[in-house]
Chain A
Amino acid sequence: MTKPADPTLDCPIGQVECSLLQEIRGLRTEVEQLARLSQTDPLTGLFNFRYLIDALHREMERTRRTGLTTGLIMIDLDHFKYVNDIRGHQVGNRALQWCAARWLEVVRKIDVLCRFGGEEFTVILPATRLAQAVRVAERLREKLEISPLPLNPGELPLTASFGVDVFRANEELSPETFVERTDGFLLAAKNQGRNRVCYEESKVLRPATEVTPDERIAFFATRWPRE
């Protein structure tokens, strides 16, 4: 058995001012900061794409272990090109930060909100069924719809489109393919007029293996033998 490393550093010969130790402490802090930076999107402070793929690997593995589905929401801000082109990139950047901050107010504690890149965002929803994931996405959509970006003067209305899907334990899927599949629903949301949440409705209405009312009725129609 190895002992866990002592988090505080003490000089083995009890020197109070040890320059080596000070350097080690400094390096440790730097490593921690760099580790954080390597996972963070500098503009919004959200997790970045690198972290997203790592976290998705972890959650999909958890799904394989526990059977609980992993939810994924792909988000794209609507007409963001116009914001950048007409209002300028500074307003564009503020809009991205604004969205991130508003959404952080409404995601659940376990959800992982990431900036995918550009004006695309992603939420990983650990141990979440599709119906719940759709509710979270709907909450994010509404939150942004009612929270225009304050400008001086005036304000800029913002909306986004959402694609939602879940990964099930019996599926063979990489994080990248899962993202792609969910992106398909985001594309559908765009095509259907934006500012909406798209997902496979039949999956919410009735999971493929659920016993249907027709099947139940077929059993009730059985004439039970009387003996």
Chain B
Amino acid sequence: MMDSKGPVKLCITSGKGGVGKTSLTVNLAYALAANQKRVLIVDGDLGLANVDVLLGLSVDRTIRDVLDGGVDPAQAVAQVSAGVGVLPASSGVPELVNLGPEEQDQLGDLLTAIMVPYDYALLDTAAGIGPSVLWFNTFTDHNLVITGPDPASLTDAYALIKVLHRDYGRDRFHVVVNFVTSEREAVKIYESLAGVTHRFLNLKPAYLGGIPRDTSVIQAARSQRPFVQQSPAQPAARAVFKLAERIIELA
């Protein structure tokens, strides 16, 4: 399954919206780049993209232009820092939310081609369990599931894992718990999720880490900069650097 050439592909996904997928994707990319890795961010929220918003990018070429307009994929990638490229998606295009099979194939081929020079490809999905979300999740080597500490986001994370496992045979899940007050809380919440997946799906996702609730995150988002760059010493950034180290150990 894993290609010897090309990057390690991770899909960042959650089921529920608003748990920090895009923020984690962007900051993880910068944290990996700080470890001398070349990283491509793919905005997989094809209908309501916002990786570009978090980075203050002015986007003129998106995945849609590549799919529809024959734009050279390499031209659509915005190099936002030395080690980080972004393939943005378009916003407000409902018909892109669910691509048909041959468009998925086309997207898969072009993503594979663009990714070659990178060490890591991080794919940020939309919320929900729609066809495109499932497709991005089956396109990658690993599924990074992010959840909040509340029962609703935990149940949604579980529902997504269940669909991906039962219908698509996925079994390499990594859990990140966002908005926690301590590492102990993150572990506790992970254990509750892993306990249920183990009991009902006979599946044990790996624990990747927790990210504390941290005001530096919102401040960075407002200035449209990654918090790992703006406040690298703050708790959220330190947690994401730790996640990056664990991801490097995965490969």
Instruction: Name A residues whose Cβ lies closer than 8 Å to a Cβ of B.
Output: 64-67, 169-170, 208-209, 211-212, 214-216, 218-220, 222, 224-225, 227
**CB pair B168 A209 closer than 8 Å:** no
Q: Is the CB of B196 within 8 A of A225?
A: no
Chain B contact-residue range equals 20 to 34
The 5 A-B pairs with the shortest beta carbon distances in the complex, nearest first, are A65-B100, A222-B192, A67-B131, A209-B163, A218-B196
B227 within 8 A of A: no
User: Which residue of the partner chain, among B100, B182, B199, contacts A218 with CB atoms under 8 Å?
Assistant: B199
Residues in B162-190 with C-beta less than 8 Å from chain A:
162-163, 166-168, 181-182, 184-185, 188-189
Please determine whether A219 and B185 come into contact, CB atoms closer than 8 angstroms.
Answer: no
Contact residues in B for A222 (Cβ distance below 8 Å):
151, 154, 189, 192
**Is B117 at the interface (CB under 8 A from chain A)?**
no
**Residue B140 at the A interface, CB < 8 A?**
no
Q: Say how far A69's CB is from chain B's closest CB, in angstroms.
A: 13
Q: How far is the CA of A208 from the CA of B168 in the complex (A)?
A: 12
Which B-chain residue is minimally distant from A171 (CB atoms)? B167
Q: Which residue of B lies closest to A222 (CB)?
A: B192
B45 CB to nearest A CB, Å: 17
Q: How far is the CA of A214 from the CA of B195 in the complex (A)?
A: 13
Nearest residue (CB) in B for A67 is B131
Complex contact B196–A215 (CB within 8 A): yes
**A219: B residues at CB distance < 8 A:** 151, 154-155, 158, 192, 196
CA distance A222 to B196 in the complex (A): 10
Closest to A227 in B: B181
- Bound-complex Cα distance A85 to B174 (A): 67
By the criterion CB–CB under 8 Å, are A65 and B101 in contact? yes
